[in-house]
């Protein structure tokens, strides 16, 4: 097995994008619990994200969600972010919070609604041009709740046409990142429900269309690391939305529900070249901190990804290959588990300290007084939340 020293440099290139919406209030259909100190503006969200980056060195960029994070002057916002020490990253489209999209957006039977959704995405590309963002993230709520409600085939055809019209607007260095989701908010048929559908559309669009794999968007029992492997092999793994789940799209902290699964996923990323310099795979969180504190929730999340990446990098791949060739199932599994069971936390604390970062970012946050300060300062205005 590699030593921690062997992987220290590789760890240094890790970058995990934070979603601006993780800092706002969120919840279930039953209740959104409000937290004191929650940002009221996109600038406050950026400040919180910058705090996470300052504590961990892992989160140099922030994804925006349009229209939630729409501002008059994105150039100014970009400069503001850079002043805070972070970049603006992926631009996320939103076609789920407008009454017009009740029966679909890019797949809608009515050309007027489709055009509206496409125009929204074009606006997002305009924003990308200003923010310098590479990726346009398209997650669609489109689908139907009842058998018979919509023509599944026509919806695919309209989707293909709409996506082509969005894709055509992209610049040479920009990408369309198409996300799939098993279900919710549609309860009968979702229009991009699986990686196969996202992949087929991306291939039809062109080389700059890639798939986003959200770790919470699969059927029970799905082997997600297999999909990682396959999409990397096919050259279409564009991005991750990290989170974790026990049941549906729970949006819990990445690694909280099944840390071993996160390890397996990251191992396949490493094995498949997705962690290599310039691989083109974007790593992002997409979570909801419904009952836990949001800023330390994000800190915990990036640390979880870092810890598992370290373990994944430690796997002795030569020993693994030798065991496989020998048909030694238990031996191969032991090599694999050896890395997983290695406690990398002390080494990572040293690694952080050696780079001028707090050895224990969670404690450093608690000790920083930041939480108390934002609670005191952020009064009045309305807190950010889904839709805010």
Residues 291-330 contacting its own copies, CB under 8 A: 291-293, 296-297, 300, 307, 320-321, 323-325, 327, 329-330
- Hey, CA dihedral for 154, 157, 163, 168, is it positive or negative? negative
Contact residue for its own copies among 187, 350, 367, 373 (CB under 8 A): 187
Q: Which of residues 35-94 bind its own copies (CB under 8 A)?
A: none
Q: Is 211 helix (H, G, I), strand (E, B) or coil?
A: strand
115 counts as binding its own copies under rule CB under 8 A? no
Q: Which residues pair with 88 in a beta bridge?
A: 62
Binding residues for its own copies, rule CB under 8 A, total: 102
Give the nearer residue to its own copies in terms of CB position, either 39 or 193.
193
Residue 112 found at the interface with its own copies (CB under 8 A): no
Strand partners, 241: 214, 284
Stretch that binds its own copies, among 81-89, 117-125, 167-175, 224-232 (CB under 8 A): 224-232
From 109, 115, 375, 379, residue interacting with its own copies (rule: CB under 8 A): 109
8 A C-beta contact, residue 122 and residue 166:
yes
Choices 98-106, 118-126, 165-173, 350-358; region in contact with its own copies by CB under 8 A? 98-106
What is the CB neighbour count within 10 angstroms for residue 123? 16
Residue 238: C-alpha distances to residues 10, 212, 249, 258 (Å): 20, 6, 20, 23
Question: By CB under 8 A, is residue 199 in contact with its own copies?
Answer: yes
The span of 11-19, 57-65, 241-249, 375-383 binding its own copies (CB under 8 A) equals: 241-249
Separation CA 52–CA 45 (nearest Å): 11
Question: Please, which of residues 1-40 interact with its own copies by CB under 8 A?
Answer: 26-31, 33-34
Smallest gap from Cβ 79 to its own copies, in A, equals 32
Instruction: Tell me which residues in 140-169 interact with its own copies (CB under 8 A).
Output: 141, 145-153, 156-157
- Give CA–CA dist 358/55, Å, rounded: 6
Check: CB of residue 182 under 8 Å from CB of residue 149.
no
Residues of 240-274 as b/e, b for ≥16 C-beta within 10 angstroms?
A: bbbbbbeeebbbbbbbbbebebbbbbbbbbbbbeb
Is 252 an interacting residue with respect to its own copies (CB under 8 A)? yes
229 is an interface residue for its own copies by CB under 8 A: yes
| 206 near its own copies (CB under 8 A) | no
| Choice from 130, 182, 349, 364 touching its own copies (CB under 8 A) | 182
In the list 130, 183, 349, 371, the residue contacting its own copies (rule: CB under 8 A) is: 183
Closest CB 367 distance from its own copies, rounded Å? 14
Residue 340 engages its own copies in binding (rule: CB under 8 A): yes
Nearer to its own copies, 128 or 320 (CB): 320
- Whether the CB-CB separation of 180 and 231 falls below 8 Å is answered with no
Please report how close the Cβ of residue 31 comes to its own copies at its closest, in angstroms: 5
Cβ atoms of 295 and 37 closer than 8 Å: no
Question: 159, 161, 131, 127: which is closest to 143 by C-alpha?
Answer: 159
Q: Which of helix, strand or coil describes residue 28?
A: coil
Q: Which residues pair with 239 in a beta bridge?
A: 212, 282
Q: Is 364 in the site for its own copies (CB under 8 A)?
A: no
Nearer to its own copies, 241 or 307 (CB): 307
Instruction: Give yes or no for residue 388 binding its own copies (CB under 8 A).
Output: no
């Amino acid at each position: 097995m590699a030593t921690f020293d062997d992987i220290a440099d590789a760890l240094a290139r890790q970058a995990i994008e934070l979603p601006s919406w993780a800092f706002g209030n969120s919840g279930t259909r039953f209740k959104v619990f409000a937290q004191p100190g929650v940002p009221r503006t996109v600038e406050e969200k950026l400040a919180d994200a910058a705090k996470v980056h300052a504590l961990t060195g892992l989160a140099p960029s922030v994804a925006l969600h349009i229209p939630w994070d729409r501002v008059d002057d994105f150039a100014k916002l970009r400069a503001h972010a850079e002043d805070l020490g972070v970049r603006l990253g992926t631009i996320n489209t939103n076609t789920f919070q407008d009454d017009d999209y009740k029966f679909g957006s890019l797949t809608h039977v009515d050309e007027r609604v489709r055009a509206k959704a496409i125009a929204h995405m074009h606006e997002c590309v305009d924003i990308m041009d200003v923010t310098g963002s590479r990726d346009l993230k398209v997650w669609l709520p489109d689908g139907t709740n009842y058998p018979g409600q919509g023509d599944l085939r026509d919806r695919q055809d309209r989707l293909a046409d709409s996506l082509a019209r969005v894709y055509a607007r992209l610049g040479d260095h920009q990408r369309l990142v198409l996300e799939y989701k098993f279900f919710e908010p549609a309860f009968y048929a979702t229009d991009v429900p699986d990686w196969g559908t996202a992949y087929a559309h991306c291939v039809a669009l062109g080389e700059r269309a890639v798939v986003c794999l959200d770790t919470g968007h699969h059927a029970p029992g799905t082997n997600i690391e297999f999909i990682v492997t396959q999409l990397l092999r096919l050259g279409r793994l564009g991005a991750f939305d990290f989170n974790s789940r026990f049941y549906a799209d729970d949006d819990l902290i990445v690694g909280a529900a099944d840390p071993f699964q996160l390890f397996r996923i990251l191992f396949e990323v490493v094995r498949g070249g997705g962690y290599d310099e310039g691989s083109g795979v974007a790593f992002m969180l997409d979570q909801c901190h419904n009952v836990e504190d949001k800023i330390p929730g994000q800190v915990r999340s990036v640390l979880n990804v870092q810890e598992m990446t370290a373990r994944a990098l430690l796997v002795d791949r030569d020993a693994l290959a030798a065991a496989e060739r020998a048909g030694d199932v238990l031996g191969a599994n032991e090599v694999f588990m050896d890395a997983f069971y290695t406690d990398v936390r002390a080494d990572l604390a040293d690694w952080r300290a050696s780079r001028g970062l707090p050895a224990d970012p969670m404690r450093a946050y608690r000790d920083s007084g930041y939480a108390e300060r934002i609670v005191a300062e952020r009064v009045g205005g309305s807190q950010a939340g889904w839709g805010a």
